[in-house]
Structure 1
Amino acid sequence: MEVLVAPGPEQAAERAAAAVLDGLARAAGPAPVLGLATGSSPLGLYRALGRAVAQGRADFADTHGVALDEYVGLPPGHPEGYRQVLLREVCSVVGLAPERLAVPDGSVADLDALERAAADYEARIAALGGVDVQILGIGANGHLGFNEPGSALASRTRVKRLSARTRRDNARFFPGADDVPTHCLTQGLGTILDARRLVLVATGDGKADAVAAALEGPLTASVPASVLQWHPDTVVCLDEDAAAGLRNRQYYDDSAAGLPES
């Protein structure tokens, strides 16, 4: 696991964008597959990728996008549904074609249909050849995607209940807390771990406790993001505030400096 600490959020986003582009350059197939997170954490990263496109350093025309999760119960086209969010925050920013964006279908009406939608989504990811780079944020309670504390470490895409804390945190995107859906479809932790590279970006002191628990605590379902420790190619990009709780900070900084010059 590579941990990169930058002075501020913009620099953390730039480092995360570089890690994403490096991973996509080594994509397994002819059409790279990029896993997409929503929320506030990756917004700076998407803007940095947009700048790379504008400068001719990146091209997402042939890239497939795969969303981490989707709310259950929002009608198609709802502005806070994650398909619409990703169309605004990713497709229009980096030039990813909307028809190449895959999002779980949370609009179906009953549990059987949702379970079929989850299985179909796993099959869709497999048909694309798997995810080359998965972008991640981290919840203040340590959730990854919408895998809340207590999620099975080997879980696959499925229906999950959102915790009260996650719903409170996401209420800023809705008219009020009661308008936040109670359930979601989310890639499981096992699904996330199948990606060939994981790139997590976290900024702000509100994420410091979760980051420290995920990176330096035990591997546990109580902190779903601790599965980052289990992946062979994880890059974590933080600002100083999000890194404030790390005990091994000096080692991360020394490691990031690379080999000494001969």
Structure 2
Amino acid sequence: MKQNLYDNPEFFEYYTRLRASKITFNDFVEQPAFRSLLPNVQGKRVLDLGCGSGQLAAYMLEQGAAQVVGTDISTRMLSLAPQHEQLIYIQSPMEELDFPGNSFDLIVSSLALHYVEQYEDMMQKIAYWLKDGGKLVFSTEHPIVTAKLDKEGWIEDQEGKRLYYAVDHYSQEGVRRAHWVVDNVITYHRRISTLINGVIGSGLRIDAVIEPEPTAEGLERMPQLVNELRKPSFVIIGASK
């Protein structure tokens, strides 16, 4: 059974309230860098894996995509997604999706692949679904963040000042369990080399790798984002078929 974290009522209430604030790591760190890697989507067919409430899917439709297929495991998140005749939503874990080969011009996934256990298998599916010349853009939690078994990396002094970020168990890939609003949130730690080689092994070509820093607006509105200049929270990879 795949973890359906976002259908947990407590987590869903917290997460939707956070995203509605527009003062988040997504808004000021991950999404600006992510969108910088998106190709021209005019007239293209796009697949959004782990689309959540459909914000990225709606953005690509605004940019001229002919059709966007958004998929997510969470019924609650999909209930918030904007409706449009060119937006199609599928409630399913991404690992269980089945599309014909050469179906999409662009496949995107924002902060969802770290929930997938069989990363290499997922990359093989993505490569199969992409048309020749198609593009992939995805982001995950950075391996620096996921490495420690307890996922608690900041070392602080007695006054609570952050001294440095500790990295440990980096080579020990696999399950990580953490408390994020609720207990036992499961993600999967993978080394940078594993993330990159999974793309290459599927037959795709790496175009870009970004470890994003906060925007100027983000630093002004969320001063704590200065810590993103000390260690990255995310990695974003762009690739082509």
TM-score, normalised by the number of residues in structure 2: 0.39
TM-score normalized by structure 1? 0.37
More helix by share: 1
Q: Which has the higher contact order (CA 8 A, sep 6+)?
A: 1
